[in-house]
Amino acid sequence: MSALRGTLVKRVRKASNKPSEDAYTSSRPGESVRILISRERIRARIQEIAREIRKEFGAEPLHLVGVLKGAVFFLADLAREIPGEVSFDFIAVSSYGKNTHSSGQVRLTRDLDSSIEGKNVVVVEDILDTGMTLKYLLGVFRNRKPKKLRVAVLLDKPERRIAEVHADYTGFSIPNEFVVGYGLDYAERYRNLLDVGILKLPESTHEAPASP
Ligand code: IMP
Ligand code: MG
């Protein structure tokens, strides 16, 4: 087992390539991840969203702005599904510390490389939770005078919303559960899972996880 320390073991998948078990096990005692949205569903939904985005913008160039780090895989897959001229950039924010609930404080920790003035911008986020991060970012971007400003989120937890923001493109609406995988983390772990799943922590972990 020691060779597996710190790694994740995906249980056997059937020949059909569908997960035969709906969970990832972890070498961390008591932690596991139950698959909520499979890689196949994620891929299919991203293809649909890419088509919708291209339809809205016609033949115009698009500029995707990914919010680090959670949106990296979503942006990478989305960008490759959108035909025509697509450029992208990244921004990073820190909203609240590990293992704490949202304080509503959002801070820019890495700015864009280039100006978005006059561009068709699509903000690409991993998950819309309280909405505080997106509200802050939209304020920052609006001041920079893009031609159009749209938002694409892979996941939406509408029950948790505090700020009045909405996404123009949403992958999946999910229940109020802490999810990881496909870029989403718990204390920087689990981002590399191919599917999105609900994190189960040991009984002794009382505080609900949340990480920017
Ligand atoms: P908001 O500002 O509350 O909408 O939070 C958005 C950020 O919190 C996301 O970009 C994520 O990084 C993080 N977050 C919120 N919910 C989850 C979750 O269920 N799993 C992992 N990260 C989450
Ligand atoms: Mg995070």
Residue 55: C-alpha distances to residues 10, 23, 43, 45 (Å): 37, 36, 19, 15
Asked, for residue 101, whether it belongs to a domain, the answer is: yes
Q: What percent of the chain has pLDDT over 90?
A: 77
Q: Ligand 2 centroid vs 129 CA: distance in angstroms? A: 11
Which residues have CB atoms below 5 A from the ion given as ligand 2? 70, 185, 211
Q: How far apart are CA 94 and CA 174, in angstroms?
A: 23
- For residue 209, the model assigns a pLDDT of 64
Q: Do 123 and 67 form a contact (C-beta atoms < 8 A)? A: yes
Asked, for residue 205, whether it belongs to a domain, the answer is: no
- For residue 203, the model assigns a pLDDT of 81
Nearest ligand to the C-alpha atom of residue 125: 1
Using CB distances shorter than 6 Å, the residues near ligand 1 are 70, 95, 102, 125-134, 178-180, 184, 210-212
pLDDT at position 15 over 70: no
- For residue 103, the model assigns a pLDDT of 60
- For residue 19, the model assigns a pLDDT of 47
Per-residue pLDDT tens for 83-101?
A: 999 999 999 999 765 444 5
- For residue 190, the model assigns a pLDDT of 96
Asked, for residue 209, whether it belongs to a domain, the answer is: no
Mutational test site, ligand 1, from 101, 137, 184, 186, max ligand atoms within 8 Å of CB: 184
Structural domain boundaries, residue 167 = 2-200
Atom of ligand 1 nearest to the CA of 163: 4
Q: How many domains does the chain have?
A: 1
- For residue 99, the model assigns a pLDDT of 45
Nearest residue to 158 via CA among 170, 142, 146: 170
Q: Is 129 one of the catalytic residues?
A: yes
pLDDT at position 208 over 60: no
pLDDT band at 1 (very low <50, low <70, confident <90, very high): very low
Per-residue pLDDT tens for 120-170?
A: 999 999 999 999 999 999 999 999 999 999 999 999 999 999 999 999 999
Asked, for residue 147, whether it belongs to a domain, the answer is: yes
Asked, for residue 11, whether it belongs to a domain, the answer is: yes
Mutational test site, ligand 1, from 126, 161, 166, max ligand atoms within 8 Å of CB: 126
CATH number at residue 71: 3.40.50.2020
Lowest mean pLDDT among 5-9, 191-195, 196-200: 5-9
Per-residue pLDDT tens for 29-59?
A: 999 999 999 999 999 999 999 999 999 999 9
Asked, for residue 131, whether it belongs to a domain, the answer is: yes
Asked, for residue 208, whether it belongs to a domain, the answer is: no
- For residue 100, the model assigns a pLDDT of 42
Asked, for residue 57, whether it belongs to a domain, the answer is: yes
Per-residue pLDDT tens for 99-127?
A: 445 566 899 999 999 999 999 999 999 99
